[in-house]
Structure 1
Amino acid sequence: MTTVTTDAADQAPLFGPDSQFGAFFDDPRWALAMIRATVLEAAHPQIGAALVDNSTFVAHPWRRLRNTFFSMRRMFGTDPVVREREAARLNRLHARMSGSDSRGRAYDAMDRATRAWVVATLFESAVTMCRLSGQPLDQDTMERMYAEYRTFLAALDGDAAELPQDLNDFWRYFDGVVENELENTEAARVILYRLFDHLPAPALLDGVPTLWAAGRAVAGPLLGAITVASLPEPYRRRAGLPEMPGASTLMQGAYLTAGLARFLPQGWINAESLIETLSLSPDSDDPRARMMSALGSRMKRASALLRLLTPLSGDLAPDADSAPSANTGGSRRSAVEFFRKVLDQTGDGYLDWPDLAAMARELATRLDLAEPEETRLYDAFAAWWRELQAALDTDGDGRVSADEYGTAAPSLAGPALIRVAEVLFDATDKDGNGAIDADEYRTLFRTAFHRNLTTTDGTYGRSAFVGDFLSFMSGRRAGTPYDPLLADA
């Protein structure tokens, strides 16, 4: 019997760079394993319903990836204070997510058994990725890693009782959930058959849509096929997932190729640096963003030259790369584009409370707000939602469609939105001196002051901040610091 005991767990730190989780953090195989784990999570009815109703993973997948990555890093870091703070933040976030699915079944993101399944998929997918890449874990390493994940669950729930203590019992538990509880949920189908095929470009590559679309057309179906082939066979059978010819070989090859990264020099692959780079806005002051912007400009000029040299270029549709950028300073979005890119955070085609809650969640995450400030921000957004619902929900279905929004063409700068801006300013102004300095500005926007925002004393005042926020939200003006914050994927 292989029981994970407290004594075994105490032999070495379960968190930090010496943990088994830490050893996988910069491993390219982890990307494939995380996709697989996410599908297994989404296949659980409760988690799938919560994702469909509340998550931004469809419209803003890169933002979701970044936030998840840094949350996991905080949870598995060495500082217990940081871990406790992050656990409390996650619990507050999940406590706000409950409802019912399309079949009327209730879901609650704080359900302990459901949260245990999330942790179980992460552990099992890590074990599977090692096996598929030809580097299976030995029993002692598996037991140690299992102890890490149970301790992670305990940090969230107070204990790890929902996961079996014995590793052998865990495999029976995992197989039982796969056999009896997982379904072909809408969320799982979206990940496998919609997200990969329509994945929006990360912020840094938003200026080269043709290049991104070409790469996605090849990589999207391959990722989908690899993920399906890696899922447990009982789930594939129950869900009726199609098995492409050669998909198993392709999947094995992908994991084996990713596993070759172990032969690279230490530090050549840094997941944090990669995610930070992809998240950079094209107009960021970061040198990496300036380099990509310069490369994008050259590609656009080359594309324009190619069209001039093509005999039938006049009959061809304009290249997407030559279209005016949504991030061009001073440009204005149409009402439809503003609805899709800013208001509809969950990507379901409607504006309702989960969309505004997602905005509040992103702002609170960026600013690392504690409970009182976070609650004030959510309350301000809730009041704004009530104001929008009263003004725009003409058919009384409890949500606002794109047509309802476009037909009304409203000015959103009502009293409730002004209150949102004021609460956001107060949350950003950490030292409470009535102005946002350069460091506070960078915390929220992840870039330096723009020239048109700096003042003689190098700060950003309340009235200017509120005015710019209202201009973005009601005037639909693009090319502002709020685009990377609320509009980027």
Structure 2
Amino acid sequence: MFGPGSQFHEFFNDPRWALAMVRATVLEAAHPQIGGALIDNSTFVAHPWRRLRNTLLSLQRMFGADDQVRQREAARLNRLHARLNGTDRQGRPYDALDPEVRAWVVATIFESAVTMCRLSGRPLDQQTMERLYAEFQAFLAAMGDEGGHLPPSLHEFWGYFDRVVEEELENTEAMRIVLYKLFDHLPAPPLLHGLPTLWAAGRTVVGPLIGAITVASLPEPFRRRAGLPELPGAQTVMQGAYLAAGLARLLPDGWIQAAIVTDLLSLSLDSDDPRARTVTALRDKMNRAAALIRLIAPLPPEPEPAQEGTTRRSAEQFFTEVLDQTGNGYLDWPDLAAMARELSSRLDLDEPEETRLYDAFAGWWRELQAALDTDGDGRVSAQEYAAAVPSLAGPALIRVAEVLFDATDKDGNQIIDADEYRALFRTAFRRDTAGCAGTETHYTRSAFIKDFLSFMTGRRRTTPYDPLLAQA
């Protein structure tokens, strides 16, 4: 059911899978419970590239051949989902551990995989569909969900899917963001930082096109009920996109590995990864292309990102780029929970270290709320944050730094060595948060805490912490 030889494994690096996953995400976001959870908790708007990388890593772990890795990842996902519950803006409850909701997520991925094959002119035969459906049922079982939430047979699945589409899905805010805002306002990946004109030009064309292709691929009953517009010729463009993506299978092996592509997109040019040199050369060519585009078709200027180590962020920039992880314009608990989630994922924490980190961030949130929430609405606006011009280095933030150090210091020797540093920052050891590149081969507790507090309170752009908490 898992690992090399499984049907899912064959699809994972298929270029068509990108289109199918966007479609599946729209169908998930149209479910009221999932849409509510995404709006309140997800970082997919402000940090889409980070979210993509983490999702691909999780899928690799769950569908890999190693049972222990799968069990550990399932436990991590269940802990994550247990923290995602609340009420949406219509007062309806949502719970990410609801087995019916989890079954719908799996159903959308399975159905979108089947649809991508059909739309690209290579429909799956009955036996292959049965095999793929069994793999997704095994996925739910690996997550610990009891059977019965997905229909037991493929024949029964299609009736279940049509019923949910026709009776339960809605035109949710989260769905509209995925279709019409996410790609139109998608921030540049680290690879294209510093090339705002080139990125804006490509996004202006590709964003609406992806939205039109996705809408055209959705089930007709839902499109009609949700009032989604279908542009003339969209069906033809959609089928052409799937056909073109399918032809990419003819490329040499290794050219379209999903993990490699994602790693390259998120690769910092300051990284010690050997591929960074190739990316730097590619970026130089992109700079020349961007200059040509500006000559041919000038676009409204976009602000250039500040150079490393030369300026401090304003309070408003720090709020938007670092604190507001969910991108909703406010600072509240889901933003700090997203920080804890990202750090826990990078360090691959188990219990009880993961809970200690979440508890430390929860303490910091209580401290921030007490100091900054002047109107008592339970959240901090950008205006409240900027007006206070706060010094955030209170006891709770110091506690966050201490717990993060302990979680990074795997061997407990009170020093972060090169391997532990790489696990957190994904680059070789280099301390420059204090403004001076060092040659040290270890990182002491006091130095780590000082640098962390300097970033979180001084708002200085730094090579280690910006990719960790600020970049998309």
Where in structure 2 are the equivalents of 1:75-474 lying within 5 Å? 75-297=62-284, 300=287, 319-320=301-302, 325-450=305-430, 452=432, 458-474=441-457
Question: What's 1:8 paired with?
Answer: none
What is the CA distance between 1:159 and its match in structure 2? 2.7
Q: Once the two structures are superposed, what CA deviation does each residue of 1:215-264 show, in whole Å capped at 9, x if it has no partner? A: 10010010000000000011101100001000000000000111112222
Q: Once the two structures are superposed, what CA deviation does each residue of 1:419-477 show, in whole Å capped at 9, x if it has no partner? A: 00010000001111111111111111111112648766611111111111111111100
Query: Does the 8 Å CA contact 1:56/1:358 hold for their aligned counterparts?
Result: yes
What is the CA distance between 1:102 and its match in structure 2? 1.2
What SS does the corresponding residue of 2:40 show, helix, strand or coil?
helix
> Counterpart of 1:430 in structure 2: which amino acid?
K
Query: Does the 8 Å CA contact 1:225/1:247 hold for their aligned counterparts?
Result: yes
What SS does the corresponding residue of 2:197 show, helix, strand or coil?
helix
> Counterpart of 1:135 in structure 2: which amino acid?
R
What SS does the corresponding residue of 1:157 show, helix, strand or coil?
coil
- TM-score under structure 1 normalisation? 0.92
More divergent stretch after superposition (451-460 vs 280-289): 451-460
> Counterpart of 1:221 in structure 2: which amino acid?
P
Q: Compared with structure 1, are the counterparts of its residues 43 and 302 closer, same or farther at alpha carbon in structure 2 (3 Å cutoff)? A: closer
What is the CA distance between 1:282 and its match in structure 2? 2.4
Question: What's 1:5 paired with?
Answer: none
- TM-score under structure 2 normalisation? 0.95
Distance 1:318 1:20 in 2: 46
What is the CA distance between 1:303 and its match in structure 2? 6.3
Q: CA RMSD in A?
A: 2.0
What SS does the corresponding residue of 2:86 show, helix, strand or coil?
strand
> Unmatched 5+ residue regions in structure 2?
none
The match for 1:57 among 41, 44, 58 is: 44
What SS does the corresponding residue of 1:254 show, helix, strand or coil?
helix
Query: Any runs of at least 4 consecutive aligned residues in structure 1 with deviations exceeding 6 A, and if so which?
Result: 301-307, 453-456
Identity percentage over the alignment?
A: 74
Query: Does the 8 Å CA contact 1:207/1:296 hold for their aligned counterparts?
Result: no
Kindly indicate whether residue 467 of structure 2 is the aligned counterpart of residue 480 of structure 1.
no
Question: What's 1:7 paired with?
Answer: none
Q: Compared with structure 1, are the counterparts of its residues 454 and 331 closer, same or farther at alpha carbon in structure 2 (3 Å cutoff)? A: closer
What is the CA distance between 1:66 and its match in structure 2? 0.5
Distance 1:107 1:306 in 2: 46
Q: Compared with structure 1, are the counterparts of its residues 213 and 317 closer, same or farther at alpha carbon in structure 2 (3 Å cutoff)? A: closer
What is the CA distance between 1:158 and its match in structure 2? 3.6
Query: Does the 8 Å CA contact 1:45/1:182 hold for their aligned counterparts?
Result: yes
Q: Compared with structure 1, are the counterparts of its residues 456 and 35 closer, same or farther at alpha carbon in structure 2 (3 Å cutoff)? A: closer
Query: Does the 8 Å CA contact 1:329/1:478 hold for their aligned counterparts?
Result: yes
What SS does the corresponding residue of 1:107 show, helix, strand or coil?
strand
The match for 2:21 among 24, 28, 34 is: 34
More divergent stretch after superposition (479-488 vs 68-77): 479-488
